[in-house]
Amino acid sequence: MIPTSYPTAEEMARLTARMLLEIKAVHFNPAEPYTLASGLPSPTYIDCRKLISYPRIRTTLMDFLTVTVMRNAGFEAFDNIAGGETAGIPFAALVAERMALPMTYVRKKPKGYGKGARIEGDMSEGQRVLLVEDLTTDGGSKLSFVDAIRETGASCAHTAVIFYYDIFPETEKTLGDHGVALHHLCTWWDVLAEARASGAFDEATLSGVEAFLSDPRKWQADRT
Question: Confidence class of residue 112 from pLDDT cuts 50, 70 and 90?
Answer: low
Judged against a pLDDT cut of 90, whether residue 37 lies above it is answered with no
Confidence at residue 208, expressed as pLDDT on a 0 to 100 scale: 96
Residue 38 has a CB neighbour count (10 Å cut-off) of: 10
Residue 40 has pLDDT above 90, yes or no: no
With CA atoms as reference, report the closest residue to 204 among 65, 11, 29.
29
For the chain, the farthest-separated pair of C-alpha atoms sits apart, in whole angstroms, at 55
Measured distance CA(122)–CA(132) in Å, rounded: 16
Kindly indicate the confidence band of residue 110, based on its pLDDT and cuts at 50, 70 and 90: confident
121-172 residue pLDDT tens: 999 999 999 999 999 998 888 999 999 999 999 999 999 999 999 999 899 9
Q: What is the mean pLDDT of residues 184-212?
A: 97
Averaged over 31-45, what is the pLDDT? 89
For the stretch 59-91, pLDDT in tens is 999 999 999 999 999 999 999 999 999 999 999
Task: Name, in order, each residue with C-beta under 8 angstroms of 36's C-beta and a sequence gap of 6 or more.
Answer: 42
Please tell me whether residue 156 adopts helix, strand or coil conformation: strand
Q: What are the domain boundaries of the chain? A: 9-24+53-185
Beta strands per DSSP E along the chain:
26-28, 34-35, 41-42, 44-46, 80-84, 103-106, 119-120, 128-136, 155-164, 181-187
Which alpha helices (DSSP H) does 100-187 contain, by range?
A: 140-150, 171-177
Q: Quote the pLDDT of residue 38.
A: 75
Architecture of domain 9-24+53-185: 3-Layer(aba) Sandwich (3.40)
